[in-house]
Amino acid sequence: MTARLRDQTELRVKPRGRVVRRLARRTEFGSPRVLSVVRRRGNWLKVLVAELDNGRRGWVRADAVALGSTRWSLHVDRSARRLVVKRAGRRRWSITVAVGRPANPTPLGRFAVTDKLSPNRPASPYGCCILALTGHQTKLVPGWPGGDRLAIHATPQTSSIGQAASLGCLRAHTSSMRKLMKLVPVGSPVFIRA
């Protein structure tokens, strides 16, 4: 299930609990905010958001969002360096990806796609396409200027695909990323396991 924000919405620690954030209708990258719903309890939805640490969830009121759904999900096996695309629980496609190097491992857990981005710079280290995720890299190198958000993205360093070579993001070939950008909607869940 997905939840598209209609307006600014309060994110709470639990139903009717303390407000921890106010979520804007748009993400930090300007996309309409579509949340991945983990659970429903009455008029409350437990959701994944990039504003919280990895593994933490928040709650929003169901009447503050437009409910939707996605049948797509992404499943990453970090040790096998494989990303499996599923639709309605059935395997549809699989690709090889680069994962975080040993000092900067790709975090494990459940995340969600927050944005579908196309960099404007031809020489972008993120290639043609980026699926931004709710997750954060907690073991970045000192002085890294690129932020801590996890993503699945293309790369001009195609020799790194299939290797433990990134700072935590998942890297894929341009053709695979273009296909992912077309198929996978914002709000889709992403599961990363060891």
3-class SS of residue 31: coil
In 3D, which of 52, 157, 61 has the Cα closest to residue 114? 52
Q: Which two tokens mark 112?
A: 């969600």
In the CATH hierarchy, which top-level class contains the domain 2-68? mainly beta
Q: Which two tokens mark 136?
A: 């954060």
* Domain-wise residue ranges, the chain: 2-68, 72-193
In the CATH hierarchy, which top-level class contains the domain 72-193? mainly beta
Distance, CA of 87 to CA of 141 (rounded, Å):
36
> What sign does the CA torsion over 58, 62, 67, 72 have?
positive
pLDDT in tens, the chain (194 residues): 999 999 999 999 999 999 999 999 999 999 999 999 999 999 999 999 999 999 999 999 999 999 999 999 999 999 999 999 999 999 999 999 999 999 999 999 999 999 999 998 878 889 999 999 999 999 988 888 878 999 999 999 999 999 999 999 999 999 999 999 999 999 999 999 99
